[in-house]
Every structure is written in structure tokens, then in C-alpha cells.
Copies of this chain bind each other. A is one copy, B any other.
């Protein structure tokens, strides 16, 4: 049986869809592990099927981060929930300057999900993990009854090793720093929004989902004294800048005219009345560096495929502490506040 290009292994053929028993401790659960997860993830740590994976780490500091992914739809222009789940956690770990090493993967499946859909997501996760250089080392599967999920929810939790001497965190940001974004903003959120709203932008607007650990390594290897790193996901660039202003007790001045936005993304935002500054990104980072290292940081980023569109967008000042002030595209000044909720629910 071949569904969507995926050949269902013999033992799974009797149940082409997820049933509650796939979440139990019995044969159905074992078949899912042995015929779907293990061949795809192919990590030595998974092979012994113990309650926990045994991993080697050097002495020192590790970074740990967790994220659940509930994005809708599961597949969208430029990516899918599986790729997003790997890249999202890899990025959170990398934002501490850590080298992501190991990821756990936990699925909450809804009864009735086609196994072929799960197989496609799992294949996408395996590819993303390979690209990011991380191992998917331990996992869990639960099944909930129809009407109590939405196909697939995925949690990934990652650990990474922080190199000696690296200290990256919002508290290190100070007046005189500048903020550099690694490329165009709002691509991910508008890609999701376009398909949900049926705007017909699918070919023009694609998610930017990507693993940023390679780009972070380049910055550190280049000797840039990175003070803080953030990937502006939920809440977008505006929320990230506000968090940094608040955590570092500084003011931030952003020139919105310098913030890169692709034309079709800007058009879609206009049509839907959305502000790109608040729209989620999944493959961009904002680096806070001392002003005298701005040029070096920009050059390093631009030499990397994921940083080609890097731009200096903001300055950290000793004024209006905890607040972000922007110069709008029309040259006016506005306070860029944190929004109350989220423009786009279930964006990741």
C-alpha cells in the first residue's frame, strides 16, 4: 500500500489510520515505533528502546529548551509541523550560544490521523534533524480520542552544549549596542495566514523555517562579542525587542524603514491589516552586539545563506527604559508596545 508516496510497512497495513491502541503499551504501539519511527529517526540512542536515552555530555553548562507545536494547517508553504518542531527547538537552544545536540520528540496524535500523514511529518523531522546536526534520541506517543486533538501536536525538547566563555543573555545588552536582524521578517506568519485565509499567495510567500545554529556558530567563530540573541517567533520582532528592553532595562530605538520585508509579505500584511513587526518568524534571529562590531557581524551574517538579508535595525539607548520606540516607514515616531494577545493563533 502506498499513500502519498509512503509505502505502509506490512504490520501497519491493517490499521492505515491512528487508533487509540497506538498509544498503549502493546503491539500496536511497538509496530509504530519499529516500522515508522525507528527507520526514519535512525539514531543509535533510540535502538535500546529504554525508558530514557543515555547521552554523553562534556562537563560544563548545557542549555535546555522545550516547545510544543500546534500549528494549523500541518503542512504549509515552505514547511510543515515536523520541520518546524525540530528547527524551533534547535533555535531556542542556539539562542543561548549553545551547540544543539539532542532532541526528544513527543507526539500527541488524534485518533483517525492517516499513518501516511504521520510518516510524512516524521520524514520531515528526520531531514530537519540531519540538516541541523542533532539527534532525535528519545520519544513518546500518546493518542487522544477523535475531537480532542487536531491531527498531530508535537513537543520537542532540546539540549545543547554551551562553549566555555560564552555568556549570551538579555541581561548583557547595554546602551551603545545595536540590533541586527538576519533577514526579512514576517514570512512564516504570513505564509500560514495566506493559506488559512485562502489569499492565493502560496507561491509568493513561504515560511522561513530554518535551523539557525550554523549561523550562530559563524558569529561566535568570527569572534563577535554577541550580547544577546533571540529568534523573533510568536509576537514577532516587536515583542522580542520589548522583552530585551525590559530584561536589560534599556531603551530601544528601531528605524522601521531599515527592517527588511519582502514585497508580497508587505502586501499581504496590508490586505489583512496586520503589522509585520508583530508577525512570527521561524528562521530569523536578532543579534545584539556592540556598535563597533556591527560591520563585522553584518559581514559574517551576509556570508551565510541564512543571513544574506541581514540588516541593522535598532539601537540600544539609555533613555525611555523598558520601552521600544520606532520611526515608521512614513518617518513618524511611535511607541512599539507589546500586543495583548497574538494576531495569529496557532502559528507554531
Chain B residue contacts of A159, Cβ below 8 A: 62, 64, 159
Interface mask (A83-119 → B, CB under 8 Å = 1, otherwise 0)? 0000000011101101000101111100000000000
Cβ-defined contact, A66 with B138, below 8 A: yes
Q: A53-B63, A67-B106, A341-B19 are in contact. Are A25 and B233 (CB under 8 A)?
A: yes
CB-based contact A23/B96 at 8 Å: no
Q: Which of A29, A64, A98 has the most CB of B within 10 A?
A: A64
What are the interface flags for A127-145 relative to B under an 8 Å C-beta threshold, 1 for contact and 0 otherwise?
A: 0000000000111101111
Contact B57 A63 (CB under 8 A): no
Instruction: Give A15-31 interface residues, CB cut-off 8 Å to B.
Output: 19-30
The reply to whether A20 and B53 form a contact with Cβ atoms under 8 Å apart is no
The reply to whether A25 and B342 form a contact with Cβ atoms under 8 Å apart is yes
Instruction: With a 10 A CB-CB cut-off, give which of A62, A102, A150, A339 has the most chain B CB atoms.
Output: A62
Q: Determine if B155 and A106 form an interchain contact, defined as CB atoms under 8 angstroms apart.
A: yes
Partner of A342, one of B26, B108, B234: B26
Cβ of A299 within 8 Å of any chain B Cβ, yes or no, is: no
- Does B144 lie within 8 Å of A231, measured CB to CB? no
* A341 and B20 contacting across the interface, CB-CB below 8 Å: yes
Docked-complex contact B144 and A96, CB < 8 angstroms: no
Whether, in the assembled complex, A54 has its beta carbon less than 8 Å from a beta carbon of chain B, the answer is yes
* Residue interface mask A226-239, B partner, CB < 8 A = 1: 00001101111001
Chain B nearest CB, measured from A89 CB (Å):
9
Nearest Cβ in chain B — how far from A227, in angstroms?
13
Identical subunits present:
2
Is B64 a contact of A25 with CB atoms below 8 Å? no
Per-position binary interface string of chain A over residues 52-94, scored 1 when its CB falls under 8 Å from any chain B CB and 0 otherwise = 1111111111111111111000000000000000000001110
A152→B305 CA distance, assembly (Å): 40
Assess A96 versus B57: contact at CB under 8 Å? Given A20-B342, A342-B25: no
Closest B residue to A65 by beta carbon equals B52
Chain B residues within an 8 Å CB radius of A252: none
Cα(A110)–Cα(B62), bound, Å: 32
Whether A61 pairs with B66 at a CB distance below 8 angstroms is no
**CB contact list, A35-63 vs B, under 8 A:** 48-63
Q: How far is the CB of A117 from chain B (nearest CB, A)?
A: 16
Q: Does A332 contact B (CB under 8 A)?
A: no
Q: Does A171 contact B (CB under 8 A)?
A: yes
Is residue A225 contacting chain B, with contact meaning CB distance below 8 A? no
A149 in contact (CB, < 8 A) = yes
- Interface residue A157 (Cβ < 8 Å from any Cβ of B): yes
Q: Is A214 an interface residue (CB 8 A)?
A: no
17 contacts across the A-B interface (CB closer than 8 A): A19-B341, A24-B341, A25-B236, A25-B239, A26-B338, A26-B340, A48-B170, A49-B243, A53-B63, A54-B62, A64-B159, A68-B142, A106-B157, A108-B108, A144-B150, A148-B149, A149-B149
Q: A27-B340, A64-B104 are in contact. List 12 more A-B contacts (CB 8 A).
A: A25-B236, A25-B342, A29-B234, A48-B169, A50-B95, A52-B64, A54-B61, A64-B159, A66-B104, A68-B108, A68-B142, A144-B150
A interface residue numbers (CB < 8 A to B): 19-30, 48-70, 91-93, 95-96, 98, 102, 104-108, 137-140, 142-145, 147-150, 153, 155, 157-160, 162, 169-171, 230-231, 233-236, 239, 243, 247, 280, 338-343, 345-346
